Amino acid sequence: MSVEFFRDIAKPVVSGFGITAKRLKHRKVTVMYPEVKREQYPRTRWRHVLKRYDNGLEKCIGCSLCAGACPARCIYVEAAENTDEERYSAGERYAVRYEINMIRCIFCGYCQDACPTGAIVLQKDFELADYKRESFIYTKERLLEPLPQVV
């Protein structure tokens, strides 16, 4: 038990583990993801949703402004005229086909900015990974909000 032992071995070991002991008291930072989902930031942009009015009519009027604004060119809109028998949207026209290639989309939100009726909204559902490339073509049926429940 010499002075060298304490100076060269014991003291560094104690001070080294001291850092470990200090970190043990530290707040735990890991988000236990599948069980606990972290709170997304208010302006987070993920999966698109096509909105409806409260009476069930679609907000999308098939104007293709979203497709024009899209930098990745991943939106395809095909419009048709509304008739009195078959009315889908509040405007003159509605989107017969509305497709987003979700794997090409970069979630920039320009479509949301361009939309005159606020029909397309990027929400916070980020769990989009899938096995096949075909399954990333999100059709209108997948994008559209479900009909509001009639009370």
Span 56-75, contacts to another protein by CB under 8 A: 71-73
* Of residues 47 and 59, the one with the C-beta less far from another protein: 47
Q: Which is nearer to another protein, 61 or 74 (CB)?
A: 74
- The residue among 34 and 146 lying less far from another protein, judged by its C-beta, is 34
With b meaning 16 or more CB within 10 Å and e meaning fewer, what string describes 65-74? Answer: bbbebbeeeb
Q: Can you say how many angstroms the Cα of residue 145 is from the centroid of all Cα atoms in its chain? A: 15
Query: Any contact of residue 104 with another protein (CB under 8 A)?
Result: yes
77: helix, coil or strand?
strand
Name the residue nearer to another protein (CB basis): 45 or 52: 45
**100 within 8 A of 144, measured Cβ to Cβ:** no
Q: Which of 37, 78, 81, 97 binds another protein (CB under 8 A)?
A: 37
H/E element holding 23?
A: helix 11-24
What type of residue is 113?
D
Name every residue whose Cβ is closer than 8 Å to that of residue 67 and which is 6 or more positions away in sequence: 73, 75, 76, 77, 111
Q: Contact between 134 and another protein (CB under 8 A)? A: yes
The pattern of x and - marking residues 73 through 92 that bind another protein according to CB under 8 A reads x-------------------
C-alpha closest to that of 90 among 51, 50, 58: 58
Which is nearest to 106 in space by CA: 130, 90, 122?
Answer: 122
Whichever of 4 and 131 has its CB closer to another protein, that residue is 131
**String of contacts with another protein for each residue 16-35, x by CB under 8 A:** -------------xxxxxx-
Q: Which of 49, 64, 93, 101 touches another protein (CB under 8 A)?
A: 101
Give the interface with another protein as residue ranges (CB under 8 A).
Answer: 29-34, 37-38, 46, 71-73, 101-108, 126-134, 136
